[in-house]
Structure formats: structure tokens, C-alpha cells
Structure 1
Amino acid sequence: MIWLLEGQSSQRDIIIGAREALPAGVKIFASHGQARPEITGLADVSLFEPADSQERIEWVLQTALENNIKVILAGREGRLIESARAQFDAAGLTLVTGGLSIEALNCVDDKSLFTAQAEQAGLDCVPAITVTDALELATAYATLAAQGEVCIKPVVGIYGEGFWRFNPQADAFSCFAKGVREVNFDTYLQAYAATETKPAMLVMPYMAGSECSVDMVCEAGRTVAFVGRRKKGLYQTFEREGAAVELAVKAAQHFGCDGIVNIQTRDDADGKPHLLEINPRYSGGIGYTRATGINLPGIFAARRLGFKEPESDWLANVRVKAVTVAIPLPV
């Protein structure tokens, strides 16, 4: 049996993919810290996770042993669960958190540390300057702006939260009025300087090319399956060959990725990909990849439980568009 702990809303897609690949007699457990029946209701057993961190670890261990669960996929709380790996190992449980140590997870979560290590390993990545105060921000911007467009994002974060592209021509109010991710640097600097507790930020050259989001199934750094996704307007397209996915595979190996992970790259103006980040958890868009004939969640679940993995039949020239679907739920 396999247990999928709380993750992104795409936890629903992980359940669907795993169910499709596993024998009918193998139960899938799913849990969440909130009442999310539209997600966990697709599993054979739905559970509610406690909020307290220490209580959650003990509850996961006890529940897994009581229900003869073999594999536990940590999602949103991967670092918390990873910190107790020794306890899970001692109990004979297979724990999958995206990495094989807390140090590995900390490295990829901290984008400043990740960038430094990627550069040391010779992996092409978006160069970045870490800043923690207004003077450092102004200096970093002046340095990079002399070479081209500049952008900024938090050292730690997901979903692109806190990302801004600096546009010298942007009206000071346009970022508030239009909801775009562009802002005049002076406006941003003034706001950052006025913030009492300043978060560490990464100032980077803005890459003008497209972004590739590579969903991957990895085992101790070895990539066993992957699909690259690119957003093109309202649609997403897919790829399995090319420099972007090759770079993602190399990065997964170097950083010892383990589980269902997501690696993002960005092309420069010449089409050369650079590493943006590694997310040691499945992405929000992983469900789209099943349209290519490759069931990444199913491959992961089957291999970890010792079953034959589902056949992959790559479908080229596929594009998808997300739509909102209403799901009836009990009151």
C-alpha cells in the first residue's frame, strides 16, 4: 500500500495516475490538513492530518504501521517528514521526500545556495545576486542593468510568488492597476527599503526565452521517466528531447533528487536553457503530462511498490488547455 501525504492540489492527479497503474487490490491512502474531499476522496482511504508538526510525524508513523503501508510520499511538508527519516527507516517504511537528506532539501529550497552549487557543478543556471537590504538591492540592480533586463524573486518560495520584472518604462502605478508582474525599479526599491523585515531576494538577469517545466520520476538521482512542459499562450506543449530536459536530468543527478520532482529551466535570447530551480515535490501541472501517454505518478507508484510499471507510449505534437470542472461534494 502507498500513502500520499498532503501536497499541491495536483495530489488528485497523483492519485488518479497511481490508481491507473496499480493492481486493484493495492490500496491508496491519501491525507490532507484541510477538508479536501475533491482530492482525497479519490483514494481508497482518506485521512485528516494533524496540524502540529511533531504530532504529525508520530501520527504518520503510527498510521503507516497500523495499516501495513509500505511507501509514503511526502508532499508539502517534505522537509518536516525528512527530518524524521531515521525513524521511518527503523520502522521499515520507504519514505520519499524529493531528496535523501535534510541537507539536500535545504539546498534546493534555498535558491541562493542552489544557484551557487549549480554554478560550482558546471550546470548552466541563471546567475543571481543575493540581497538583504536596500543598498545591496540598488547595487545589484545597477550591476545587472548595465548588461540587460533585470528581475527579482525571493530566495525561498513557490508558485512564482514574489517574482517581478523590472521595466524602466513602467508607470509607478501600473503594477497595481493592471496586475502585471512588471514594476519600475525605483518603485520597488522604495517599497523594499520601507519594509521593516526585509526578506532575502535574488536579483537576476531576465531571460527572454521560454520556460520549460520538467516533471520527473527520480530514484536517488537517477531519472527513470520525465516530461517537459512549455506554456504557449493558453496552451501547454510537451517535449522529451532537447537541451532543456537534458539539463534537468543532469541537475537531478547532481542534487540527488528522489521521488516525483519538478525542475524548471529558462531559455536565454539565443535559446540556451538555464536552470531556474528544483522543486523537490510534484508540480501543480503534473496531471497534464498524462496526455502524452506517460503516466509519471503511475510509474513512480508501481516501481516503489515492486510492480511492473505502466507502458509508456509517447504521443508527439500534443497540446493541452486547462479547464475548470465542478465536482459535486457532500455537504
Structure 2
Amino acid sequence: MIWFLEGQSSQRDIILGAREALPAEVRIYASHRQERPEITGHADVSFIEPKDNQERIDWALETALSHAIKVLLVGRVGSVFEAQRARFESHGLQLVTGGTSLRTFELVDDKSRFTAEAERAGLACVPALTVSSAEELVAAYEQLKTQGEVCIKPSVGIYGQGFWRFKEQADPFRCFANPDAREVSFTTYLDAYGKSASQPTMLVMPYMPGSECSVDMVCEAGRPVAFLGRRKQGLHQTFEIDSTAVELAVQAAAHFQCDGLVNVQTRDDADGKPHLLEINPRYSGGIGYGRHTGINLPGIFATRRLGLSEPAQNWKPDVRVKAITVAVPAAN
């Protein structure tokens, strides 16, 4: 028995991928803190999770034991569960959080610590200067702008929230009229940052103009066993398995001791050389797209964790995928 707790919206794809690979007699459990039958309805058994993170720990442990569940994949707040790993393992349960210890989360959740550790390990990464005041922001910008375009993002965060490119020609109102462009003049940003009641820690970085590669992978105690890179090309996404970006992502996942279904993001510089952006110790929103290439990462994860024969990786090159919105009934 395997249980997929609340994760990204792609939790639905995780369940479908696992169901495709697992024998019919293996029951799949799924849960969410909201009523999401379009996600959990594809499992054999579904639950509504408690909203409080600490309450979820006790509930998850009790529920797993009462249903003879063997493997639990944590989709969100992996660090909260990781801190309680010993409790689950003492009952013979496999807890999969995204890392093998709290150190993984300490290093990857804070982007400044992640950058420092990647540089120490000799892994190519986007260099960054950490700032926590208007004065430090000015100094970092002045230092980097001589090298080209500069960008900024929070030291802690997901989904690219808080990322901005500094464009001196940007109209001061542009960031409000077209926020998706992620472009703002440095003076406008500095004025807002300086007036903030609490100035959050930010990373100031050179902007790399190349494309971004999002690498989804299955890891086991720091060992990547299956992986697939995705790039956005206009309206479509393309895939790769043996590029330098994928190789860098695999090395990073191993160094940071990732475990489970994780995602590593890289970005190419002007010469096409990939640099690490971040590691997400959880599956990505687009992990399900890979099934169209013949590589079923959720299925590989589920079968290996349960000691079953994993699905063959029938790699299909030159596949392009376009995501679409589909309406589904919300009733159970």
C-alpha cells in the first residue's frame, strides 16, 4: 500500500502514473487538506487531512498504521515530517519527504545557503549576493550591473514568487500594469524595498538569458535512479535526458542527498552553459508531462519503493507537450 499526501496540483498525475505502473491489487491512498475529488478520486481510498501541520503528523502516523500502509510520500512541508522521521520508521513505515535528513531542507530551502553550498561543492550555480537592507541592495546592484542585466528574488520562496528583472527603461507603472513581465526599474524597486516595514532577505544575481531546464527525478537516499529534463519552448515543453543541464541537476541532487520525487532547476548563460537555480525537495507541477515520453517517473518511484518490478523506460525523443485546462465534475 502506498499513500500520496497533499502535494502540488500535479498530485493527480502522480496518482495516475503510479496506478498505471502498479498491479491492480496494490491499493493507492491519497489525501488533501481541501476537498479535491478531481485529485484524490483517482486513488482507491482518499482522506481529508487536518490543516494544522503538527496535527497532520499524529494523524498520518495513526492512519498509516490502521490501514497497513507501507510507504508515505509527503508532497508539502517535507521538513515538518522529516523532523519526525524516527517516529514513522520505528513502526516500520517508509517516510519519503524529499531529503534524507533535516540538513537537506536547511540547505535547499534557503537559496543563499544553497548557493554557498553549491559553490563550495564545485557545482556551477547562478552567483548571488545576499542583501537584507536598502544599503546592501544598492551595493550589490552597483557591483553586478557592470557585468550585464541584474535580477532579484527572495532567499526563501517557491513558484518564482518575488522574482524581478531590473530594466532601467521600464516605466514605473509597468510592474503594476503588466506584473507577469517581471520587469521593474531599479529605482522603483529600491524605493519600495526601502519603505518596507520589514526588508526581507533577497538574492541579487546576474540575469542569465538562456533557457531554463526543469529536471524531475526519482532519488533514493541521494542516488538519482531516473530523471527527465523539461524546457519551455513557446507554448510547448520539450524533453531531454542526456544534456549537460540534466547531468548538473543529477550531480546536485546527489550532493544534497535528495530522496523521493524531486525537482532541480537550471538556467543557461549566454554561452549555453547550465547553472543551478534551485532544488525543490518535492515533485514539480509538470512532472506528469513526462509520461508522454515513455518515462513514468511516478510509476518508477512507486514500484521501486514497494519492491515491485518497475515500468520500462521507453524513451521517445522529440516529443512536445502542451498543457491544457480540462473541466471535470467536482462531485465524488
The answer to whether the 8 A contact 1:124-1:273 is kept is yes
User: Following superposition of structure 1 onto structure 2, how do residues 185-224 of structure 1 map, counting pairs within 5 Å?
Assistant: 185-224=186-225
Q: TM-score, normalising length from structure 1?
A: 0.99
Does residue 128 of structure 1 match 2:143? no
Residue 175 of structure 2 corresponds to which residue in structure 1? 175
The answer to whether the 8 A contact 2:73-2:97 is kept is yes
Residue 314 of structure 1 corresponds to which residue in structure 2? 315
The answer to whether the 8 A contact 1:18-1:301 is kept is yes
The answer to whether the 8 A contact 1:141-1:150 is kept is yes
Could you tell me how far apart the structure 2 residues matched to 1:37 and 1:106 are? Answer: 33
The answer to whether the 8 A contact 1:215-1:260 is kept is yes
Could you tell me how far apart the structure 1 residues matched to 2:165 and 2:283 are? Answer: 26
Q: CA deviation at 1:197?
A: 1.2
Residue 61 of structure 2 corresponds to which residue in structure 1? 61
Could you tell me how far apart the structure 2 residues matched to 1:83 and 1:51 are? Answer: 18
Could you tell me how far apart the structure 1 residues matched to 2:286 and 2:145 are? Answer: 33
SS at match of 1:258: strand
The answer to whether the 8 A contact 1:6-1:77 is kept is no
Residue 326 of structure 2 corresponds to which residue in structure 1? 325
Could you tell me how far apart the structure 2 residues matched to 1:198 and 1:85 are? Answer: 34
Q: CA deviation at 1:242?
A: 1.4
Q: TM-score, normalising length from structure 2?
A: 0.99
Residue 80 of structure 1 corresponds to which residue in structure 2? 80
Could you tell me how far apart the structure 1 residues matched to 2:42 and 2:197 are? Answer: 45
What CA deviation, in whole Å up to 9, does each residue of 1:263-283 have, x standing for no partner? 000000000000000000000
The answer to whether the 8 A contact 2:100-2:222 is kept is no
What CA deviation, in whole Å up to 9, does each residue of 1:46-99 have, x standing for no partner? 101111222110000000000000000001121111110010111110010110
SS at match of 2:217: strand
Residue 225 of structure 1 corresponds to which residue in structure 2? 226
The answer to whether the 8 A contact 2:36-2:330 is kept is no
Residue 89 of structure 1 corresponds to which residue in structure 2? 89
Could you tell me how far apart the structure 2 residues matched to 1:91 and 1:298 are? Answer: 25
SS at match of 2:304: helix
Q: CA deviation at 1:329?
A: 1.9
Q: Mind listing any 5+ residue stretches in structure 1 that lack a counterpart?
A: none
Could you tell me how far apart the structure 1 residues matched to 2:331 and 2:261 are? Answer: 31
Does residue 18 of structure 1 match 2:23? no
Equivalent position amino acid for 2:14 in 1: I
Could you tell me how far apart the structure 2 residues matched to 1:298 and 1:240 are? Answer: 17
Residue 277 of structure 2 corresponds to which residue in structure 1? 276
Runs of 4+ in 1 over 3 A off after TM superposition: none
Residue 30 of structure 2 corresponds to which residue in structure 1? 30
What CA deviation, in whole Å up to 9, does each residue of 1:175-197 have, x standing for no partner? 11123200000000000011101
Equivalent position amino acid for 1:160 in 2: G
Q: CA deviation at 1:303?
A: 0.0
Could you tell me how far apart the structure 1 residues matched to 2:23 and 2:64 are? Answer: 20
Equivalent position amino acid for 2:153 in 1: K
Could you tell me how far apart the structure 2 residues matched to 1:106 and 1:66 are? Answer: 32
Equivalent position amino acid for 2:13 in 1: D
Could you tell me how far apart the structure 2 residues matched to 1:49 and 1:106 are? Answer: 25
Does residue 234 of structure 1 match 2:235? yes
SS at match of 1:190: helix
Could you tell me how far apart the structure 2 residues matched to 1:254 and 1:235 are? Answer: 31
What CA deviation, in whole Å up to 9, does each residue of 1:127-186 have, x standing for no partner? 000111111111101100011110001111111111001111111111111232000000
SS at match of 1:227: strand
**RMSD between aligned alpha carbons?**
0.8
Q: Percent identity?
A: 69
Could you tell me how far apart the structure 2 residues matched to 1:292 and 1:160 are? Answer: 26
What CA deviation, in whole Å up to 9, does each residue of 1:184-213 have, x standing for no partner? 000000000111011111000000100000
Q: CA deviation at 1:220?
A: 1.0
Could you tell me how far apart the structure 2 residues matched to 1:34 and 1:77 are? Answer: 16
User: Following superposition of structure 1 onto structure 2, how do residues 39-58 of structure 1 map, counting pairs within 5 Å?
Assistant: 39-58=39-58
